[in-house]
């Protein structure tokens, strides 16, 4: 704690300089923000960058409440015509770009796996389009093709730059999905332009992802080596029993499932995470399990992904985050129930 207290002022000073550059650089600053936002997703530190811009930067009197609104989000809904600059660029990416990337992964999948890949990618693509929740989709290629993820971050930065350069303003209450777009359309400025811009980004994402996956033989969903799957099936007993939940089954060493989809998934998660005794605490956010463990070195990342996880981030020796998706709360509840027995 003492060491952290000593180094944090330097970190905070660095963040202050970054924020100062972003807010003073106009369209370029918005592009840098969106690029940095995506690049920080793997660590979860994007929230640190978001906090100042979305909830503290600038002020505008809210005529409805008489209270001073701060931050890009609050000022947008208070009617500030200059607000929305640090939200608008996410709409073309979350509603169009990433769903197109998901379809590119389907098109690039092996023919015998394309149908299964389509079912999996359709769910995360629709989630991204409607709600703006993109982590499950991003984690499907983030680690197997990090250079491709950097390209995604660059495209996101370009979206932030272009939308601001064109004077478009748009905001969201939750994230940059179609639901927020429809609800807040009337509050935006030139919001209609996000649709044609979105289609341009959809084409760019599809073309870049499809040809990159094929050219570099990237092991995105549906392109895994059969040998690797066979080895993993041996590690995860009865992996072919439950096709509805990505081939989840139970072995005599697992927590006994009841047949419920989430019970089966929880049983596999517990096994892959080192067993019940390895857990210290269980928490979750919108898409991630945030777990405190006794030892993260025994966590089986491949088994977790086979059990339905989109990605795994080991924060340190005792903390791990598992990217699940929008049904994370159901998994968290089942894990807590199993461990309370």
Domain ranges for the chain, please list them.
2-216, 234-340
Superfamily of domain 234-340: Glucose permease domain IIB (3.30.1360.60)
Cβ atoms of 39 and 151 within 8 Å: the answer is no
Q: What are phi and psi of 286, to 5 degrees?
A: -65, -35
The whole-chain average pLDDT of the chain stands at 85
Q: Tell me, what's the pLDDT at 5?
A: 76
Cα separation, 186 vs 221, in Å, equals 38
pTM: 0.76
Taking residues 80-109, what's their average pLDDT? Answer: 96
Q: Answer yes or no: is pLDDT of 225 > 90.
A: no
Q: Tell me, what's the pLDDT at 248?
A: 35
pLDDT-derived band of residue 226, with 50, 70 and 90 as boundaries? low
Cα separation, 79 vs 251, in Å, equals 58
Q: What would the pLDDT profile of 233-265 be if each residue is shown by its tens digit?
A: 444 433 333 333 333 333 434 444 555 788 888
Taking residues 256-279, what's their average pLDDT? Answer: 82
Q: Tell me, what's the pLDDT at 154?
A: 97
Cα separation, 70 vs 172, in Å, equals 15
Enzyme catalytic residues: 285
Q: Tell me, what's the pLDDT at 182?
A: 97
Q: Tell me, what's the pLDDT at 236?
A: 40
Q: What would the pLDDT profile of 288-319 be if each residue is shown by its tens digit?
A: 899 999 998 999 988 888 888 878 888 888 88
Work out the end-to-end distance of the chain between its first and last CA atoms, rounded to an integer number of angstroms. 35
Cβ atoms of 260 and 292 within 8 Å: the answer is no
> What is the share, in percent, of the chain residues with pLDDT greater than 70?
89
Q: Tell me, what's the pLDDT at 163?
A: 98
Q: Tell me, what's the pLDDT at 252?
A: 37
**Per the structure block, which two tokens stand in for 153?**
């971050």
Cα separation, 191 vs 212, in Å, equals 32
Q: What are phi and psi of 237, to 5 degrees?
A: -55, 145
Q: What would the pLDDT profile of 37-84 be if each residue is shown by its tens digit?
A: 999 888 777 777 888 899 998 999 988 888 899 999 999 999 999 999
DSSP assignment of 266-306 = HHHHHHHTT-GGGEEEEEE-SSEEEEEES-GGG--HHHHHH
What SS3 state is found at 116? helix
Q: Answer yes or no: is pLDDT of 99 > 60.
A: yes
Q: What would the pLDDT profile of 117-154 be if each residue is shown by its tens digit?
A: 998 899 899 999 999 999 889 988 988 889 999 999 99
Q: What are phi and psi of 60, to 5 degrees?
A: -155, 130
| Higher pLDDT, residue 164 or 238 | 164
Cβ atoms of 210 and 108 within 8 Å: the answer is yes
Cα separation, 308 vs 329, in Å, equals 14
């Amino acid at each position: 704690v003492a060491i952290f207290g000593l180094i944090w002022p330097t970190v905070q000073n660095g963040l202050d300089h970054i924020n100062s550059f972003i807010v003073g650089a106009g369209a370029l600053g918005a592009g840098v923000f969106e690029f940095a936002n995506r690049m920080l997703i793997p660590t979860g530190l994007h929230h640190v960058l978001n906090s100042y811009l979305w909830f503290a930067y600038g002020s505008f009197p809210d005529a409805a409440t008489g209270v001073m609104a701060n931050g890009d989000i609050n000022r947008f809904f208070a009617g500030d015509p200059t607000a929305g600059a640090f939200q608008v660029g996410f709409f073309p990416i979350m509603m169009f770009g990433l769903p197109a990337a998901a379809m590119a992964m389907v098109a690039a999948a092996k023919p015998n796996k394309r149908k299964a890949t389509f079912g999996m990618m359709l769910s995360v693509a629709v989630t991204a389009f409607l709600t703006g929740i993109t982590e499950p989709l991003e984690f499907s290629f983030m680690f197997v093709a990090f250079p491709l993820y950097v390209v995604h971050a660059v495209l996101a930065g370009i979206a932030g730059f272009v939308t601001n350069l064109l004077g478009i303003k748009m905001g969201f209450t939750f994230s940059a999905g179609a639901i927020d777009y429809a609800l807040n359309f009337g509050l935006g400025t030139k919001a209609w332009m996000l649709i044609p811009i979105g289609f341009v980004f959809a084409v760019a994402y599809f073309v870049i992802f499809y040809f990159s996956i094929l050219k570099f033989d990237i092991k995105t969903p549906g392109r895994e080596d059969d040998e690797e799957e066979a080895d993993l099936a041996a590690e995860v007993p009865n992996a072919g029993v439950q096709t509805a939940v990505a081939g989840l089954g139970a072995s005599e060493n697992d927590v006994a499932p009841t047949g419920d989809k989430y019970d089966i998934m929880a049983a596999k998660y517990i096994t892959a995470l080192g067993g019940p005794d390895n857990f210290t605490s269980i928490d979750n956010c919108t898409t991630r399990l945030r777990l405190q463990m006794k030892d993260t070195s025994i966590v089986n990342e491949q088994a977790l992904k086979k059990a339905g996880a989109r990605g795994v981030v080991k924060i340190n020796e005792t903390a791990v985050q598992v990217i699940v998706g929008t049904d994370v709360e159901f998994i968290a509840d089942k894990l807590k129930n199993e461990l309370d027995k």
